[in-house]
Amino acid sequence: MIRFALKSLAGRKLRTVLTALAIVLGVAMMSGAYVLTDTIDKAFDSIFVDSYAGTDAVVTGKDPGFSFEGESAQAPPIPEETLVRVREIDGVEIATGSVQDFQTKLLRPDGEPIDTGGAPSFAFGIETAPEYDRFNPLNLVEGRWPSGGSEVVVDEGVAGDENLQLGDRIGVAALGPAQEFTIVGIAKYGDLSSIGGATFAIFDVPTAQKLLDKEGRLDAVTAAAADDTTPEQLTQRIQSELGGDVTVQTGVEQANEESSEIATFTTIIRYFLLSFAGIALFVGAFVIFNTLSITVAQRMREFATLRTLGASRRQVLRSVILEALVIGLGASIVGLFSGLGLAVGLNELFKALNLDLPQTQTVFATRTIVVSLLVGTLVTLVAGLFPAIRATRVPPIAAVREGATLPRGRFARFTPYIAGVVIALAVLALGYGTLADDIATGDRFALLGVGVLALFIGVAMLSSRLVRPLAVGVSPIGHWLTVVVMILIWPLGTLPYWLLRHGAFGPGGALGRVGALVLGAALNPLLALIVLVMWGRSAVTKWQPEWPMEFPGVLPSTRINRIGRENARRNPGRTAATAAALMIGIALVTFISVLANGLRVSNSDAIERQIQSDLIITSQDGYSEFPAAVGDAAAGADGVETASNVRQDIAQIEGDGANLTGLDDRVAEVYDFRWEEGSDELLTQLGSDGALLPGNVAEDRDLAVGDSFTVRSTDNESKDFVVRGIYEGSPFYPLLGTASVSREAFDELYERPRNRFTLLNAADGGEAARTSVESALEGFPDTRVQTREEWIDKEDQEIQQFLLLLYVLLALSVIISLFGMVNTLALSVFERTRELGMLRAVGMTQRQTRRMVRHESVITALIGAALGLPLGIFLAVLVTSALGQYDLRFALPLDQLIVLAVVSVVAGLLAAITPARRAARLNPLEALQYE
Amino acid sequence: MENGNASAVVIANDITRRYGEGDTAVDALRGVTLEIAEGKLTAVMGPSGSGKSTLMHILAGLDKPTSGSVSISGTEITTLKDSDLTKLRRRHIGFVFQFFNLLPMLTAEENVLLPLSIAGVKIDEKWFDDLIDKVGLGDRLTHRPAELSGGQQQRVAIARALVSRPTVLFADEPTGNLDSATGSEILTLMRDSVDAYGQTTVMVTHEARAAAIADRILFLADGEIVRDLPRAEPHEVLATMEELAAR
């Protein structure tokens, strides 16, 4: 009996740990999301505060005050004389001017630009004389400040990463061809050695002006007030002196403005990560619910005994809730601190996906602690509530009755109806959330979130009714997929493991054993390490590895699998709740992969539909604009017949943010306009005021041929255009902007016009011309020359990469459901001790026992997949139809869905490892011993 | 030996079984030697703690003796590894348990056929029909254990033990969980199977009326065989038990 008690205690330890882990991971994700984003916020705040620490007033160009699709218009530069005028204003003690840019690439020795992972690559032109130190947020680490046209100072981060030394030459590419500079100093921003992946290059002002095509201009004039003047007074005085063409703000205002822009960005990341934490906690709640339900059923006799001893229902309720509370609080505390580690991991994940974020000292806010502990504990309590209520329904008589079962809840028979109502409401919420167009974005997301949660809960409630037929349906699939998986892992997994164990612990001659060891280690060195550890353990401690070990096989037995299948069916509620946890992860992965596949198909269709050229030049990232000079360089390359520049920048059209495109007159050769009104000839006749619109824009903005509209550029230039033609736009991925005008008209509106694409046709269809174009563009490292198909591939890869990030984040919830599966199986094995003993006594081998448990696990996992796959597809259909106006396609990625089914089988196999071993090792004697 | 004329299918030689170590060690068996004769029903009797269950577990290869040897059908089983023991159980041993131990999700028929199914052996239809007829389950084959009475469940369990025609059947308190009328039916069935099929059977029990159907009754006390009776009436068994208890 003591042995039995110890065993059940050990079982309980594992169970408690696994149950708690379900919550630990969710809470860790939550606290990690807070810690990471708080830390980023803090880093940016300190950057901006440092930047304007010594500044009382900042003069910039007038902010155009509009944005489009997340890109806001930058203020245009101001004339250099502004600085002279500011210096003369009463109350200005000292003032300086600077230029800056965030698209100036530093080059590696091989000419490739240093990858900033989406972070800006800054260029600064600043005055570095000692009296201007107060304005300078940069601190020299070594060397000196640059002076003259060939010197540069780079940041400590990039110097370390690229191993740059004082005196080295480095290429810098801004608007024109790349130029070489000598590094004369290395600096850091405030105390930060790196601001994310951002790089920066510091020049003196004239050099930067020349490099950035801002001769005679400054981006900002910063001033410090004399002792008797407040920043506000100074700001007012400068504003009235300079007039309305410029914006004047105090240093504090400027810092706040810039950091609030960044805060919006980190808030998005925070909610993005928190939503995955929410999913993880939701799945965790299922695991807690299920585990507590099973243990309550198994401890029925204990509760009944308590009741006969005089415990009230309330006391029983309290004891179970207390258990949940302890698990929840303990898990939340562990999760809270694991979050600190996870924040580092998340940061590495973002880095790996080219999204490098600045960091300072880790911020562990009170809010993080309170919210994480509260949410983790509450979720556990809510999940534990139902099992606790069931525990109170155990009648005292169960203490003396063999094989008593828990009474069904009062509302159990209504469950399918309740589930039906929940699902109906969920679908209603989802439908309204996706299809209605008069709700705010925040409300929409809330509605969709609640809808999806309710859908999952409804399906989970209903699933206990589906378990029996589903188990029968998926059993053969599980059987054969298991065979496939086992065959796949046989040569590199089970076979070398057997060989290694045979070599280490088996009988036989030295030669055979050494041979087995060598072969096994050659097939899988990692396993060799594990067996080495086992060997060490057996040499040092009393522990002995099991030998003989059966030679690994792959073919399962249908007869044994049938018993496993029936085991999966005997407690439908239990199997359903276990499978439902996995269902959530699978449904979300399915949803994302179906949606992404639709996105890919739509994307490549849209590109193929629009682009007709042999070659396409884009920037390295494919979406940033690049210098207009690139187009001219490419046009001169050998073999190029047509080089058509597509200029693009944001603009304001009739007061709304928009994208304005400037087109060459030969663009019809490389872009397929499908005219609704107009023809290709029109492109040569646009002149200085003609414009083209895609059909959907014309309709939305109520513009017809002959109507006119006003465009304002980021340089605050305004001009009226007349609609000359309307073409059929591409709703999904329009490569031309909201409105297109002639290149000449575009270049008049923008001081520094940039291209979005340069489309090339070559005499021989591209291959030979490509080499000459590439060499013509050697001075412009931030460009890529590619065929249409290569471009599509590149876009696919980017979607794929983002998909990968989502998969990694969703993997957390799948892992949690895995714990749930291990828990359920382990508890079932424990519960069936006597039965397992009987099976062993009547001739079931250890291997057959393992396979029986394994098949039960695989079936449970496949039920999760069978529920999750259609759910995910349903959600994807819903979203696709909601986005119908953007022409998003619906395309099932069958291969990926099959892979997902296989993954769920693998999950089932993994979850079964420990419980199956435990079942196989049970002594048949247990069957013959009574309590 | 009183049954020396029949050949022995189970032979135990001086087996001991000790649980635990040092001061707390308990000797469950202290040197038991016996032979189980083919085609006979042998009952093992004794008060609780006498070691009768341990003896049966060791004879059936479920537990290993601390010393001594056991052979079944000429195979020494104490040194077999688990997989070979399992195979031996499939061929040579059948079990009947006190708590029936049927799989709740299988029908009566499936439960009966379970050992064959596990071993991957084909069913001998005629033998199966004959057996079902014998245990009287003809109209209950499609029922699940929960739909059967205790006696019916034990009949299923007996059919399950006999279906593979084992060399020896071990029954552990087969009537322990049944009322006396049903228990008598089960005992009759067991006696019948010995008479009709010549099924070698070892039955552990503490009930005198159960022991009374046996061809031979072994009395165990404190881990030793203290009396070896041929067939006896219930009152004789009771008398022997009282006599042993008074020692």
Mean local confidence (pLDDT), B100-123: 88
Instruction: Read off the tokens for A900.
Output: 């997902």
| Distance set, CA A526 to CA A492, A517, A521, A538, A545 (Å) | 10, 13, 8, 19, 18
Confidence of residue A317 (pLDDT cuts 50, 70, 90): confident
For B89, the closest of A566, A569, A841 (CB atoms) is A841
**Mean pLDDT within A405-430:** 81
Interchain CB contact of A924 with B (< 8 Å):
yes
**pLDDT recorded at residue A400:** 64
**Residue B34 counted as domain residue:** no
- Strand B168-172 and strand B93-96: the pairing is parallel
Contact (CB<8Å) A844/B120: no
pLDDT confidence of residue A5: 34
- For the whole prediction, is pTM greater than 0.90? no
Gap from B160 CA to chain A (nearest CA, Å): 9
- The one-letter code for the residue type at A521 is A
Query: Domain limits at A655?
Result: 615-786
Chain A environment of B89 (Cβ under 8 Å): 841-843
CB neighbourhood size of A266 (10 A): 20
Contact by Cβ (8 Å): A579, A861: yes
- pLDDT above 90 coverage of chain A, percent: 30
Q: By the 8 A CB rule, do B61 and B77 touch?
A: yes
Distance CA B13, CA B77 (A): 12
Measured CA distances, A726 to A123, B51, B159 (Å): 41, 99, 87
pLDDT exceeds cutoff 70 at A792:
yes
Cα separation of B186 and A857, whole Å?
38
Q: For residues A211 and A285, state if they share a domain.
A: no
Name the minimum distance, in Å, from the CA of A371 to any CA of chain B: 46
Instruction: Nearest by CB to B105, from A557, A566, A839: name it.
Output: A566
A751 phi and psi angles, rounded to 5 deg = -70, -40
pLDDT tens-digit series, residues A634-644: 888 888 888 89
Q: Are strands A67-68 and A71-72 parallel, antiparallel or unpaired?
A: antiparallel
| One domain for residues A218 and A340 | no
**Residue carrying the six token digits 């969709």:** A448
CATH of the domain at B225: 3.40.50.300
Q: Are residues A220 and A306 in the same domain?
A: no
- The percentage of residues in chain A with a pLDDT greater than 70, rounded to a whole number, is 94
Shared-domain flag, residues A161 and A279: no
Say if A907 falls within a structural domain. Answer: no
- Chain A residues whose CB is inside 8 A of the B107 CB are none
In a domain, A1, yes or no: yes
pLDDT tens digit string along B30-72? 999 999 999 999 999 988 788 888 898 899 888 889 999 999 9
B8 is a domain residue: no
The end-to-end CA distance of chain B, in Å, is: 24
pLDDT of residue A323: 82
Please indicate, yes or no, if residue B125 is contained in any of the structural domains: yes
Q: What is the pLDDT of residue A4?
A: 34
What would the DSSP string read from start to end of A445-505?
HHHHHHHHHHHHHHHHHHHHHHHHHHHHHHHHHHHHHHHHHHHHHIIIIIHHHHHHHHHHH
Is A831 in CB contact (< 8 Å) with chain B?
Answer: no
Q: What is the DSSP letter of A269?
A: H
Question: Three-state SS across A534-579?
Answer: HHHHHHHCCCCCCCCCCCCCCCCCHHHHHHHHHHHHHCHHHHHHHH
Contacts with A845 from chain B: Cβ below 8 Å = 82-83, 86-87
* B26 in a structural domain: no
**CB-based contacts of A883, cutoff 8 Å, min separation 6:** none
Region of B120 (left: φ > 0; alpha: ψ -120 to 50; beta: rest) is left
Q: How far is residue A542's CA from residue A875's CA, in Å, rounded to a whole number?
A: 55
Q: Is the pLDDT of residue A18 over 90?
A: no
Query: Which chain B residues are closer than 8 Å to A4 by Cβ?
Result: none
The token pair at B138 is 């003809």
The pLDDT of A471-480, averaged and rounded, is 91
Q: B182 touching A, CB under 8 A?
A: no
Backbone angles phi, psi at A154, to 5 degrees: -115, 165
B79, B100, B101, B102: which to substitute to probe chain A, counting the most A Cβ within 10 Å? B101
pLDDT value of position A372: 94
B13 in a structural domain: no
Q: Are A164 and A240 in contact (CB under 8 A)?
A: no
CA angle A233, A235, A241 (to 5 degrees): 100
Q: For residue range A122-167, list pLDDT tens digits in order.
A: 899 999 888 888 888 888 889 999 988 899 999 888 888 888 899 9
Domain annotation covers residue A149: yes
pLDDT bucket at A7, cuts 50 / 70 / 90: very low
B120 part of contact set with chain A, CB < 8 Å = yes
Give tens-digit pLDDT for A824-836: 998 899 888 888 9
State yes or no: pLDDT of A410 exceeds 70.
Answer: no
Residue A559 has its nearest CB partner, among B103, B117, B160, at B117
In a domain, residue B29? The reply is no
A145 shares a domain with A28: no
Count of structural domains within chain A: 3
- pLDDT confidence of residue A777: 87
Asked whether residue A678 falls in the same domain as residue A769, the answer is yes
Q: A663 vs A317, A411, A611, CA distance in Å?
A: 74, 69, 14
State the residue range of the domain holding B232. Answer: 39-57+80-246
A838: chain B residues, CB-CB within 8 Å: 95, 97, 101
Shared-domain flag, residues A647 and A722: yes
Structure confidence at residue B201 as a pLDDT band (50, 70, 90): very high
SS3 per-residue string spanning A801-836: HHHHHHHHHHHHHHHHHHHHHHHHHHHHHHHCHHHH
Checking if the pLDDT of A862 tops 90, the result is yes
The confidence score (pLDDT) of residue A817 equals: 92
User: How far A514 CA lies from chain B's nearest CA (Å)?
Assistant: 24
CB contact (8 A) between residue A925 and residue B90:
no
Q: What is the pLDDT of residues A728-749, one digit of tens each?
A: 888 888 889 899 999 999 999 9
pLDDT of residue B1: 37
Listed in sequence order, the residues at least 6 apart from B26 whose beta carbon sits closer than 8 Å to its beta carbon are: B18, B19, B20
ipTM over 0.90: no
Average pLDDT, rounded, for chain A: 86
Residue A68 has pLDDT above 90, yes or no: no
What mean pLDDT is predicted for residues A275-301? 89
Domain co-membership, A633 together with A693: yes
Average pLDDT of the residues in A644-648: 92
The distance in angstroms from the start CA to the end CA of chain A is 9
Domain match, A623 and A747 both: yes
Contact status of A65 with chain B (Cβ, < 8 Å): no
Query: Rounded to the nearest 10 degrees, how much is the dihedral formed by the CA atoms of A10, A14, A19, A22?
Result: 170
Q: How far apart are CA A755 and CA A644, in angstroms?
A: 10
Q: What is the pLDDT, as a whole number, of residue A500? A: 85
- Is A856 domain-assigned? no
A312 domain residue, yes or no = yes
Give CA–CA dist B26/B17, Å, rounded. 8
Provide the CA B195 distance to its chain's centre, in angstroms: 16
Least confident interval from A221-225, A234-238, A408-412, A467-471:
A408-412
Residue A6 clears pLDDT 50, i.e. is over it:
no
In-domain check, residue B32:
no
Query: What whole-number distance in Å separates Cα of residue B217 and Cα of residue B202?
Result: 10
Please report residues of A whose CB lies closer than 8 A to that of B98: 928, 930
Residue A883 lies in a domain: no
Please check whether residues A685 and A755 belong to one and the same domain.
Answer: yes
Mean pLDDT of A199-223: 90
The predicted pLDDT at position A9 comes to: 38
> CA gyration radius for chain B?
18
pLDDT at position A407: 65
Task: Report the chain A residue with the minimal C-alpha distance to residue B20.
Answer: A3
- CB burial of residue A700 (10 Å; 0-12, 13-18, 19+): exposed
CA closest to A848 among chain B residues: B118
Burial A89-107 (b: 16+ CB within 10 A, else e): bebbbebbbbbbbebbbbb
Contact flag B98-A930 (C-beta cutoff 8 Å): yes
Domain count, chain B: 1
Q: Are A106 and A17 within one domain?
A: no
All residues at 6 or more sequence positions from A734 whose CB lies less than 8 Å from its CB, including other chains: A606, A610, A694
Weakest-pLDDT range from A353-367, A687-701, A840-854 = A353-367
> Which pLDDT score, from 0 to 100, does residue A356 have?
65
Instruction: Give how far Cα A588 sits from Cα of A449, A493, A919, Å.
Output: 12, 30, 33
Beta-sheet pairing, A217-218 with A718-727:
unpaired
User: Which of A228, A253, A280 is the last residue before a domain boundary?
Assistant: A228
| CB-based contacts of A347, cutoff 8 Å, min separation 6 | A36, A357, A359
Residue A582 Cα to chain centre, angstroms: 20
DSSP lists the bridge partners of residue A739 as A660
Could B103 and A566 be called an inter-chain contact, meaning their C-beta atoms sit closer than 8 Å? yes
Whether residue A493 is predicted with pLDDT greater than 60 in this model: the reply is yes
Residue A719 placed within a domain: yes
| pLDDT over 50 (residue A1) | no
Q: What was the pLDDT predicted at B42?
A: 94
Is the minimum CB–CB distance between A557 and chain B shorter than 8 Å? yes
Do A80 and A212 sit in the same domain of this protein?
A: yes
Instruction: Tell me which residue of A236, A201, A4, A247 sits closest to A100, measured CA to CA.
Output: A201
- Across A586-613, average pLDDT: 91
Residue A195 falls within a domain, yes or no? yes
* Residue B96 near residue B174, CB atoms below 8 Å: yes
Cα(A251)–Cα(A233) distance, integer angstroms: 13
Domain membership flag for residue B144: yes
Instruction: Number of helices (H) and strands (E) in chain B: give both, helices first.
Output: 8, 10
Region A771-788: what's the mean pLDDT?
Answer: 87
Beta A675-677 vs A718-727: how paired, if at all?
A: antiparallel
